[in-house]
């Protein structure tokens, strides 16, 4: 039983490590979850298994929501989903799965974006590096 | 005024009525439970825990409510689904919305419906201009061979729709 419960919490996220600016990258997500639709019966006792599905999947880039999907009971068990994202700056990609019961799990990955000359594009712009010395 | 008289005090009337209600309700619940009716939890109102038969009228009504009589834009959305699916539990589908993701030209929501499922709505997808391309692939459940409908609602109010028929050999239980 404990193993079955643990299975519902396993998540996978695949994001390419590097990308060129303005490239469109694919993000692949997979959640190990039973996705019980709430209509199946136990063949012996006839008791209905209660509904337990993943409701929402949210993708954030540097804290800003870029993509959201809302699922109902028609999505298959161990749901796989892949979607696209435009690489603008390097940053943090977070994907969050929210359960029927309000439990949420998330995975994160780091994306590094280079411009055409091979320099990394940082999410924060620092004009004068020496200005930091005054603070230190 | 008769209720306020000493013969029937308010307390006695209330206790009698509440006791009657409790006995009737408990007897009804016991009869339901003995007849094999499903156990009803407190989330029953919005949590689906019983089986219902597919209703094509319901699916048509949902599609009508999404489109709301707007004109359909041609070649807006394309759906990629297999012709024959051996297992109805996992049917891989993908869609692509043909638009430039700039200013108002991006899909706000994309709906996916299977018309002959008991619960026709399967998923909704919400995009922003930061998601560079509206191209998503997922796996869904299908009970019988039926039409899959994909509807794209753009941010400027236009609508596009496609359908594709999938043959299912072994249906899923949803």
Percentage of chain B lying above the pLDDT 90 cut: 49
- Of residues B2 and A70, more confidence is placed in A70
Task: Name which of A76, A97, A100, A111 to mutate to probe chain B: the one with the most chain B Cβ atoms within 10 A of its Cβ.
Answer: A76
Nearest CA in chain A to B41: A50
Q: Do B159 and B96 sit in the same domain of this protein? A: yes
Residue B48 has pLDDT above 70, yes or no: no
Residue B136 has pLDDT above 70, yes or no: yes
Q: Do B4 and B80 sit in the same domain of this protein? A: no
Residue B39 has pLDDT above 80, yes or no: no
- Of residues B131 and A136, more confidence is placed in B131
3-state secondary structure string, chain B?
CCCCCCCCCHHHHHHHHHHHHHHHHHHHHHHHHHCCCCCCCCCCCCCCCCCCCCCHHHHHHHHHHHHCCCCECCCCEEEECCCEEEECCCEEEEEEECCCCCCCCCEEEEEEEECCCCCCEEEEEEECCCCCCCEEEEEECCCCCEEEEEEEEECCCCEEEEEEEEEEEECCCC
pLDDT digits (tens, 9 = 90+) for B59-105: 888 899 999 999 999 999 999 999 999 999 999 999 999 999 888 89
Q: Do B122 and B137 sit in the same domain of this protein? A: yes
On whether the CB atoms of residues B136 and A81 are closer than 8 A, the answer is yes
**Which range of residues forms the domain containing residue B45?**
1-50
State how many domains chain B has: 2
Nearest CA in chain B to A80: B138
Q: Do B68 and B123 sit in the same domain of this protein? A: yes
- A134: enclosing H helix or E strand: helix A131-135
Residue A90 pLDDT? 93
Lowest mean pLDDT among A17-26, A83-92, B9-18, B138-147: B9-18
Q: Do B27 and B108 sit in the same domain of this protein? A: no
Q: Do B22 and B78 sit in the same domain of this protein? A: no
ipTM: 0.86
Q: Do B15 and B90 sit in the same domain of this protein? A: no
What CATH number should be reported for the domain whose range is A2-135? 2.60.40.10
Task: Name which of B125, B142, B149, B150 to mutate to probe chain A: the one with the most chain A Cβ atoms within 10 A of its Cβ.
Answer: B125
Residue B140 sits in a domain whose CATH number is: 2.60.40.2470
Mean pLDDT value across residues A99-127: 89
Residue A62 pLDDT? 93
Q: Which residues of B touch A47 (CB under 8 A)?
A: 38-39
Put simply, the answer to whether A39 touches B127 (Cβ < 8 Å) is no
Mean pLDDT value across residues A86-90: 93
Residue B20 pLDDT? 74
Mean pLDDT value across residues A86-109: 92
Mean pLDDT value across residues A102-122: 92
Residue B42 pLDDT? 41
Q: Do B132 and B147 sit in the same domain of this protein? A: yes
- Of residues A33 and A38, more confidence is placed in A33
For chain A, give every domain's residue range.
2-135
């Amino acid at each position: 039983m404990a193993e079955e419960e643990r299975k519902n919490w396993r998540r996978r996220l695949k994001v390419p490590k590097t990308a060129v600016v303005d490239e469109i990258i694919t993000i692949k997500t997979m959640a190990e979850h039973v996705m019980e639709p709430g209509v199946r019966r136990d063949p012996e006792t006839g008791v209905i298994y209660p509904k337990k599905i993943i409701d929402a999947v949210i993708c954030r880039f540097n804290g800003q929501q870029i993509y959201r999907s809302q699922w109902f009971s028609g999505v298959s068990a161990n749901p796989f989903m892949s979607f696209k994202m435009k690489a603008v700056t390097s940053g943090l990609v977070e994907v969050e799965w929210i359960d029927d019961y309000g439990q949420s799990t998330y995975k994160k990955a780091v994306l590094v974006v280079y411009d055409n000359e091979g320099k990394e594009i940082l999410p924060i712009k620092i004009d004068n590096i020496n200005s930091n010395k005054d603070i230190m | 005024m008769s209720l306020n008289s000493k013969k029937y005090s308010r307390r006695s009337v209330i206790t009698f009525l509440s006791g009657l209600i409790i006995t009737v309700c408990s007897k009804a619940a016991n009869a339901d439970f003995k007849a094999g009716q499903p156990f009803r939890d407190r989330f029953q109102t919005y949590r689906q825990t019983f089986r219902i038969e597919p209703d094509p009228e319901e699916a048509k009504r949902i599609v009508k409510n999404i489109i709301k009589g707007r004109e359909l834009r041609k070649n807006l959305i394309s759906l990629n689904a297999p012709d024959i699916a051996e297992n109805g539990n996992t049917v891989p589908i993908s869609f692509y919305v043909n638009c430039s993701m700039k200013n108002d030209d991006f899909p706000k929501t994309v709906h996916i419906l299977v018309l002959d499922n008991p619960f026709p709505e399967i998923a909704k997808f919400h995009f922003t201009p930061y998601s560079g391309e509206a191209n998503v692939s997922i796996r869904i459940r299908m009970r019988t061979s039926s039409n899959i409908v994909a509807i794209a609602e753009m941010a400027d109010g236009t609508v596009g729709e496609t359908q594709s028929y999938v043959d299912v050999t072994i249906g899923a239980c949803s």
